[in-house]
């Protein structure tokens, strides 16, 4: 029994200790001054790629939102690339272009739906901008977003930037509230990594890439954002998180809706960090090891430790029920604090999802197609957008 306790304590130390060290390290790093230059007079030509699949509920809002951006119209190209919508999405896009001839909107239609990365690569062939921006159909940008964020790309050593996700329906349910706590946690990670060198945690709601570094969007890992950010880093430049570049979106209010998003996302991230591991072992990885090692541990190792920890916990409880329960109650007492409780529950969910993603990787399963969950489409309203001055 003593050996089981030793193993359990060792697993606990690794499971909780390494992420805690990472968080403290990045919390300190994010307080450091910026290491890149910014020029408010930087006005590159831009192409905004909007991938769509059955977005009739949101596409008009999206185009209205892009139309309100404070940026020279002559420097903006918008490409809506559709992957076989059957709900009249393109009819609404066509109607918008006829009513707004003063802005360049190009419509592309894929012959075969093959996933978001393939759709973006198809659109990239027709992009004319010096900066390529990806923004999902259900994500909305403040009118001054480009003026706030694009100057960061003036730095010759910065190849791409990404923004911060904010929920329009934050207080709708415990699911959205708990996810908001997770986003704040991830903002610390992304900002800290950016201050050190780069973060590859990019977002489909808003990401901007210098065209000269963007050969294609990554479709091998299934992650058009994080996988592409890694490819940019491998070209010898930085990819950074811009906290003030906020974009707004809707998040599912049910656990089922949340899991649908998280499982697909985790599958992609596991593949991205597996790619990082291979690059690191072959000594080709340009992302600093002090960033990569922590993340590889978090996404590839800690889920397995979590599984072992659950197994040894069950053994301990079976061997000495009363003592184990008392010990666990002491350890779990910090959960009385709501913020810690939300992070703990999110963490437990995340590790179960990551275990699922690792199993999917082991069996070669890959999520290649995407679709905005029906729940998110239904929740979005014009009033929400107008209250935030997004349309």
pLDDT tens-digit profile of 256-295?
A: 888 888 888 888 999 999 999 999 999 999 999 999 999 9
Closest residue by Cα to residue 224 from 146, 122, 301, 139: 122
Q: Which residue has the higher pLDDT, 348 or 85?
A: 85
Query: Which segment of 64-73, 82-91, 232-241 scores lowest on mean pLDDT?
Result: 82-91
Residue with tokens 């940008």: 141
Residue 29: pLDDT over 70: yes
Neighbours of 324 (CB within 10 A): 18
Rounded to an integer, what distance in angstroms lies between the CA atom of residue 61 and that of residue 136?
12
Q: Distance (Å, rounded) from C-alpha 146 to C-alpha 150?
A: 5
Whole-angstrom distance, CA of residue 203 vs CA of residue 79? 18
In this prediction, residue 162 carries a pLDDT of 97
275 alpha-carbon distance from chain centroid:
17
Residue bearing the bigger pLDDT, 367 or 119: 119
Token output for 150: 């694009």
Q: Domain tally for the chain?
A: 1
pLDDT at 365 over 60: yes
Q: Pick the residue with more confidence: 159 or 221?
A: 159
**Is the model's pLDDT at 320 over the cut of 80?**
no
pTM of the model: 0.89
Q: What's residue 352's pLDDT?
A: 86
Domain coverage including residue 178: 1-391
Can you give the CATH number for the domain in which 326 is found?
Answer: 3.90.550.10
Quote the pLDDT of residue 362.
77
What is the pLDDT at residue 193? 97
Q: What is the pLDDT of residue 122?
A: 95
Indicate the average pLDDT of the chain.
89
The answer for residues whose C-beta is within 8 angstroms of residue 96's C-beta and 6 or more apart is 60, 63, 64, 105
Residue 183 has pLDDT above 60, yes or no: yes
b/e code 29-47 from CB counts within 10 Å (16+ = b): bbeeeeebebeeeebeebb
How much is the CA Rg of the chain, to the nearest whole Å? 22
Burial class (CB in 10 A: 0-12, 13-18, 19+), 116: buried
For residue 33, the 8-state DSSP code is P
């Amino acid at each position: 029994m003593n050996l089981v306790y030793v193993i359990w304590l060792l697993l606990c130390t690794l499971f909780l200790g390494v992420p805690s060290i990472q968080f403290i390290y990045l919390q300190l790093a994010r307080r450091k001054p910026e290491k890149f230059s910014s020029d408010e007079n930087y006005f590159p030509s831009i192409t905004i790629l909007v991938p769509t699949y059955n977005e009739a509920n949101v596409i008009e809002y999206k185009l209205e939102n892009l139309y309100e951006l404070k940026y020279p119209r002559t420097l903006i190209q918008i490409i809506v690339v559709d992957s076989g919508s059957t709900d009249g999405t393109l009819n609404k896009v066509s109607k918008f272009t006829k009513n707004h001839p003063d802005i360049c909107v190009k419509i592309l239609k894929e012959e075969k739906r093959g996933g978001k990365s393939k759709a973006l690569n198809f659109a990239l062939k027709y992009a004319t901008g010096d900066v390529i921006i990806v923004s999902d159909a259900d994500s909305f940008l403040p009118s001054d977003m480009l003026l706030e964020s694009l100057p960061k790309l003036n730095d010759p050593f910065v190849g791409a930037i990404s923004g911060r996700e904010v929920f329009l329906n934050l207080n709708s349910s415990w699911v959205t509230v708990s996810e908001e706590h997770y986003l704040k946690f991830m903002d610390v990670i992304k900002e800290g990594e950016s201050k050190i060198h780069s973060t590859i945690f990019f977002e489909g709601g808003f990401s901007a890439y210098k065209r000269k570094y963007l050969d294609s969007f990554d479709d091998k890992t299934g992650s058009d954002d994080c996988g592409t950010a890694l490819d940019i880093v491998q070209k010898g430049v930085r990819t950074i998180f811009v906290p003030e570049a906020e974009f707004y979106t809707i998040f599912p209010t049910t656990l089922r809706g949340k899991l649908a998003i998280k499982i697909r996302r985790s599958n992609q991230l596991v593949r991205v960090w597996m790619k990082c591991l291979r690059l690191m072992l072959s000594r080709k990885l340009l992302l600093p090891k002090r960033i990569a090692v922590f993340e590889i541990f978090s996404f590839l190792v800690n889920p397995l430790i979590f599984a072992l920890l659950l197994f040894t916990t069950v053994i301990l409880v079976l061997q000495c029920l009363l003592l184990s329960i008392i010990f666990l109650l002491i350890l779990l007492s910090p959960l009385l604090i709501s913020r810690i409780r939300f992070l703990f529950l999110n963490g437990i969910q995340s590790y179960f999802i990551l275990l699922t993603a690792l199993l999917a990787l082991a069996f070669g399963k890959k999520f290649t197609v995407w679709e905005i969950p029906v729940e998110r489409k239904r929740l979005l309203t014009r009033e929400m957008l107008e209250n935030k001055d997004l349309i």
